Amino acid sequence: MTVPAPDSPAAPAGTPPPGCPMHQGGGAPLFGPAVAADPHGLYARLRERHGPVAPIELEPGVEAWLVIGYPELLELTRNEQLFSKDSRRWRVPAEGRLAADSRLLPMTAWRPTLLNLDGAEHQRLRAAVADTLARIDHRQLRAATETAANSLIDGWGPDGTADLIAQYARRLPLLVFTQLLGLPAEAGPHLIELISHFVDSSEKSVRANAEFQAILVDLVRQRRERPGADLTSWLLAHEAGLSDEEAVHHLVVILVAGNETTINWTGNTLRLLLTDRRFRATLTGGRLSVSDALDEVLWRDPPTQNFPGRWATGDTVLGGQYISAGDMLVLGLAGANADPSVQGAGGVGGNRAHLAWGAGRHVCPAQHPARLIVETAVETLLHRLPDLQLAVPSNELAWRPSPWSRALVELPVLYSAFSPPRPAAPERPTWTPPTVPPPSDSTPSDAISTARTPGSARPGLRSLWSSLAGWWSGR
């Protein structure tokens, strides 16, 4: 597309050229059953018609761009000056075109977290989260995941049926995360119960949301006074100097991102192993491993297929499309992975150059512990139930109608019997990293002493978990 210079008489700043597809309306809807039924077909049609950057509607009358070109998505995520993470730049709500009850609000509302900031303030918060996650002992994490997985399987009973989403993938991550955060073991099932009320929007959701927030606020207070060997203590002790409220916000981010992504990755990997002949032999010892299946899922059915977003800081061109200041761009992670420019004739087996974790400075900092949890969860299940098989034809499996998550509704299976009884489970693994130093009273260095974003000193926590859970689960 030929774009007149922004400062020319024919194209004043902020004015798209004649015929711009998004600004005339008519973008493909990124909502409704079509996204869940055949997302790969949708991305292929968009690529054929519009190229690597396609006009879409996030809901009726709310336009955006879907970036499904691999090099274009890299440019989008690496150019912070042109494409910001700050959703307050979005012109749709500024123009009064976003309804007060829009389902986009939970995923686009600005929050003072590493997900919504650029520059030095983002680096300060990201360093705190990334450094905290890096302190996890992977051997202990694997042991804790295996213990939690076995406890869930033991609870299914001898009838030979299970739903691997509701009874396994959806429960396992929080049982592990409660240990990571320093919560008591019995808090895991309780958190699962609370979250079910949020996601299902039950009559108990308001009370459950308040109780969940109270648990995290109390945890932060306790760990501020009595640090332990857990993620909460490490986050508070980091030289970035997070306030209690910042710590609570980021514990929520860790829980939401880690929980929903791990659920979907586990479910999608189990589906692949049970339905794809290339991987089916894995159940009895084949050429392709569980690790191969994990990578295949990240390429084709990543846990998050699309992710909002970036907002243009000025008029520019990306992938042949004219982007106006304030436009929203959605990261089409699954679509970019399917870009023919990165797909060889034999596929991408074993290659980890996918974009499932994003790219640039905002790449997911939790990918390594997430991989270990999912790999352990899948391997433990296959070891315990080596004759697993689907209880329904594979074409009857349904996907949640979410433009963001790639998530199964359920995964019903059959198995003949449990494996022979296991030895008595060892005591719950404890986290024994180096001693956590107390928070420093010294002035932080310039790299981490940036001024806080205006209005971020006391962020409201009302319905934070509920909103973010709705974002990740696509509800």
Domains defined for the chain, CATH in brackets? 28-473 (1.10.630.10)
Q: Each residue of 80-92: b (16+ CB within 10 Å) or e?
A: bebbbbbbebbeb
Low pLDDT (below 50) residues in the chain:
1-14, 200-201, 349, 421, 428-475
- Judged on CB neighbours under 10 Å (0-12, 13-18, 19+), 314 is middle
How far apart (Å, rounded) are the C-alpha atoms in residues 370 and 257? 10
Q: How many CB atoms lie within 10 A of CB 188?
A: 21
The pairing of strands 328-331 and 307-312 is antiparallel
Q: Measured between alpha carbons, how far is residue 191 from residues 195, 213, 229, 246 in Å?
A: 6, 11, 21, 21
Kindly state the DSSP code that residue 166 receives in the 8-state scheme.
I
How far apart (Å, rounded) are the C-alpha atoms in residues 334 and 39? 9
- CA proximity to 208, closest of 25, 440, 465: 465
Which residues have CB under 8 Å from 460's CB, separation 6+? none
The CA-based angle 329-331-334, given to 5 degrees, is 145
- CA proximity to 122, closest of 39, 211, 245, 246: 246
Q: Terminal CA-to-CA distance of the chain, rounded, Å?
A: 36
Q: Compute the Cα dihedral for 302, 305, 307, 310 and give only its sign.
A: positive
How far apart (Å, rounded) are the C-alpha atoms in residues 160 and 162? 7
- CA proximity to 282, closest of 383, 419, 415: 383
How far apart (Å, rounded) are the C-alpha atoms in residues 403 and 472? 10
Decide if 174 contacts 185 (C-beta within 8 A): no
Which residues have CB under 8 Å from 4's CB, separation 6+? 10, 11, 17
- CA proximity to 124, closest of 462, 459, 449: 449
Q: Compute the Cα dihedral for 205, 406, 358, 65 and give only its sign.
A: negative
Q: What's residue 197's pLDDT?
A: 60
Name residue, tokens 């295996």. 146
Residue 154 host element (H or E): helix 138-154
Decide if 286 contacts 280 (C-beta within 8 A): yes
Residue 309 host element (H or E): strand 307-312
Q: Measured between alpha carbons, how far is residue 37 from residues 143, 305, 390, 402 in Å?
A: 37, 13, 20, 10
How far apart (Å, rounded) are the C-alpha atoms in residues 255 and 470? 13
Q: What's residue 420's pLDDT?
A: 52
Beta strands in 30-126 (DSSP E): 53-59, 62-67, 83-84
How far apart (Å, rounded) are the C-alpha atoms in residues 387 and 434? 42
Decide if 35 contacts 401 (C-beta within 8 A): yes
Q: How many CB atoms lie within 10 A of CB 107?
A: 20
Q: What's residue 252's pLDDT?
A: 85
φ, ψ for residue 447, nearest 5 deg: -65, -20
Kindly state the DSSP code that residue 397 receives in the 8-state scheme.
-
Q: How many CB atoms lie within 10 A of CB 126?
A: 20
State CA 116 to chain mean position distance.
14
Q: Measured between alpha carbons, how far is residue 92 from residues 62, 97, 224 in Å?
A: 7, 5, 41
Q: What's residue 102's pLDDT?
A: 86
Q: What's residue 441's pLDDT?
A: 37
